[in-house]
Amino acid sequence: MNYLEFKNRMFDLGCFNTHQVYAWKPDFGRNNFVRWVKKGLLIRLRQGFYTFPEYINKPDFTLFIANRIYRPSYISLHTALAFYGIIPEAVVQVTSVTSLKTTSFQNEFGEYEYKSVRKELMFGYDIKPITGGRSLKLAQPEKALLDLLYLYPFYRTEQEMENLRLDEDFLQDELNLPRLEDHLLKFKSKALHKRVKLLKNTYGL
């Protein structure tokens, strides 16, 4: 297999898997993946998923990969909250929610963590356009907050809520409280209701 022919066919996908390659070339030699990764012509993202080194510095591509290498999933939790400026910290991991099992991956683009929820909780995200005509699934701010409080139940006191250091201007001016309440009902969790009430009391919502 000629690498340039392969690259011309697969490059515009950004992130691709072996199934897509074999659908195009059923007789594709698996050792090509190993050889081209060793030469730096491909980057292995996880088992069966690859991209090209030209994408390393592409804006938002790190987030785009998160949606692609473990599906169904959408970006949420700390990564989404940092994206909206609700938490101040730079986030090391790209955090997502999935209906599959909890897992994590590490590759040249960073660390990817996926937290498992019930299938019926896979809602509350938007399709955000990014550069290159691509898009990604990103939790709405309200859903990212609920996912966080649902999956990290140790936020049980006002002090622990304050330690989140949520941006109070965002909470007061931009957080959609009716949407928060609507999403909250779908969780059907008394414990989450208590934590949301504590969140509101802590930040004066």
Global pTM value: 0.94
Containing 78, the helix (H) or strand (E) segment is: helix 77-83
How many angstroms separate the Cα of 59 from the Cα of each of 34, 70, 187?
Answer: 27, 20, 33
- Residue 19 neighbours by CB distance under 10 Å: 10
Domain ranges of the chain: 3-55, 61-203
Residue-level pLDDT at 61: 94
Residue-level pLDDT at 4: 96
Tens place of pLDDT per residue across the chain (205 aa): 799 999 999 999 999 999 999 999 999 999 999 999 999 999 999 999 999 999 998 989 999 999 999 999 999 999 999 999 999 877 789 999 999 999 999 999 999 999 999 999 999 999 999 988 899 999 999 999 999 999 999 899 999 999 999 999 999 999 999 999 999 999 999 999 999 999 999 999 9
Q: Which long-range contacts (CB under 8 A, 24 or more apart) does 89-98 make?
A: 89/165, 94/62, 94/63, 94/65, 94/66, 96/66, 96/67, 96/70, 97/73, 97/121, 97/122, 97/139, 97/147, 97/151, 98/70, 98/71, 98/72, 98/73, 98/122
- Residue 180 neighbours by CB distance under 10 Å: 20
Torsion, CA 47, CA 120, CA 64, CA 106, rounded to 10: -40
β-bridge pairing 49-51 and 43-46: antiparallel
∠ CA 93-71-192, nearest 5°, is 65
The rounded distance, in Å, linking the Cα atoms of 97 and 156 is 22
